[in-house]
């Protein structure tokens, strides 16, 4: 008799119990797939950060500006390869609810510091020549249906234009992509000089500096030098690696890693108890049948594999269904959250981890019942059945 057929018959003998067990596992992996993908999207900026890239912000807060003179001073320091600066624009498109990630940057140095920004050479040259031009990320362009040559009005909820109002007119000179699929292209940049000439306040201030060092081993030395240079000045600095800065920025909303661990741990612990109890109960109910199988010549190792296989199969059925539902949920939410979480994708690593947890769940919940079946004495089992 085929072992898989016996496993199937044992699983489906009580359909309601099978459904409830699989549903519990389904919920656990639906939660796991959704929250882990969310965390992965939020951490994508940390994972893709260059090892030799540093961020220089005002020591008080990154929203407090720095003098543009710092740009030239930092560029002249030993160990600094390239440096650029940027200003947060606080932009939106037509409707204040349609917030955009918009920054005023120094074009040439920005592209040197961020080599992962891929733009057609002709579009790049057009943007460098056009002070009123804008470079738009591919995801953002697709979201609004923008194309090269479009003239778009972008408003700011922070700055006002010298001509009155809060709106700047830009021409899309280029649409950039990333050197990897995970790179976030949901933002746009324009010329700092154009911003400087047209704003009503802010003067020669910049938002922050970004620089690359000659070698990652020089990061600590360069960061210390920058902060010491501007210590005790009116604009003291705080310099950190891009990875550390991104992580600190994300953790302003809370320790995401701890939240994820708490949710997943509680779900898995609950499922572990439920499934483990269900499997133990199922084996106890089949004590007499297991004794008959052993009497008919089924070896103890064979029965052990059948019980453990049943546990693994239940874990995989519920887990894969939950993971599939999580994928559909993420795909449905992707468009709505593209502006805030452009990298909301369930990657292969998340799927592999989830399958690993399914197998672990099946093993942990099935090992004890399987061992009990393995050690079951035929005479004892028949006596128990007779009682």
Domain spans in the chain, listed from the N-terminal domain onward: 3-45+254-386, 60-235
Q: Which pLDDT score, from 0 to 100, does residue 269 have?
A: 76
Q: Which residues of 241-274 are buried (b: 16+ CB within 10 A; e: fewer)?
A: bbbbbbbeebeeeeebeeebeeebeebbeebeeb
Q: Which pLDDT score, from 0 to 100, does residue 192 have?
A: 94
Quote the Cα angle for 24-26-29, to 5°: 110
Q: If we measure between CA atoms, which residue out of 337, 370, 382 comes closest to residue 42?
A: 337
User: Do the Cβ atoms of 83 and 211 come closer than 8 Å?
Assistant: yes
Q: Per residue in 152-205, pLDDT tens?
A: 999 998 889 888 888 999 999 999 998 877 788 889 999 999 998 898 876 678
Of 253-257, 304-308, 367-371, which gets the smallest average pLDDT? Answer: 253-257
Look at residue 70 and tell me whether its pLDDT is greater than 90: yes
Over the chain, what is the mean pLDDT? Answer: 83
- Mean pLDDT within 47-73: 85
């Amino acid at each position: 008799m085929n072992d898989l057929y016996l496993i199937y018959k044992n699983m489906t003998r009580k359909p309601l119990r099978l459904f409830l067990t699989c549903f519990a596992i389904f919920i656990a992996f639906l939660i796991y797939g959704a929250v882990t993908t969310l965390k992965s999207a939020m951490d994508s900026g940390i994972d893709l950060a260059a090892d030799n890239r540093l961020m220089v912000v005002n020591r008080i807060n990154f929203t407090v500006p720095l003098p543009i003179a710092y740009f030239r001073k930092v560029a002249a320091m030993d160990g600094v390869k390239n440096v650029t600066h940027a200003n947060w624009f606080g932009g939106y498109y037509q409707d204040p609810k349609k917030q955009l990630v918009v920054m005023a940057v120094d074009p040439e140095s920005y592209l040197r510091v961020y080599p992962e920004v891929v733009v057609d050479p002709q579009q790049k040259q057009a943007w460098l020549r056009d002070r009123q031009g804008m470079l738009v990320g591919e995801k953002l362009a697709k979201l609004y249906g923008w194309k090269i040559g479009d003239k778009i009005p972008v408003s700011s909820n922070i700055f006002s234009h010298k001509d009155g109002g809060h709106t700047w007119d830009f021409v899309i000179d280029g649409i950039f992509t990333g050197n990897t699929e995970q790179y976030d292209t949901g933002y746009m940049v324009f010329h700092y000089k154009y911003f400087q000439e047209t704003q009503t306040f802010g003067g020669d201030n910049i938002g922050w500096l970004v620089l690359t060092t000659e070698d990652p081993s020089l990061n600590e030395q360069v960061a210390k030098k920058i902060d010491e240079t501007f210590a005790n000045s009116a604009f003291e600095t705080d310099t950190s690696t891009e990875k550390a800065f991104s992580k600190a920025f994300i953790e302003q909303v809370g320790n995401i890693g701890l939240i994820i661990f708490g949710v997943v741990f509680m779900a898995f612990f609950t499922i572990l108890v439920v499934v483990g109890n269900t499997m133990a109960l199922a084996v106890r109910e089949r004590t007499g049948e297991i004794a008959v199988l052993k009497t008919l010549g089924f070896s103890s190792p064979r029965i052990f594999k059948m019980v453990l296989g049943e546990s693994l199969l239940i874990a995989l059925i519920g887990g894969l269904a939950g993971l599939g539902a999580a994928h559909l949920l993420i795909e449905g939410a992707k468009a709505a959250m593209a502006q805030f979480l452009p990298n909301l994708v369930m990657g292969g690593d998340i799927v592999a981890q989830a399958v690993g947890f399914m197998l672990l769940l099946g093993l942990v919940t099935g090992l004890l019942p399987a061992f009990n079946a393995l050690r079951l004495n035929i005479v004892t089992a028949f006596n128990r059945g007779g009682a």
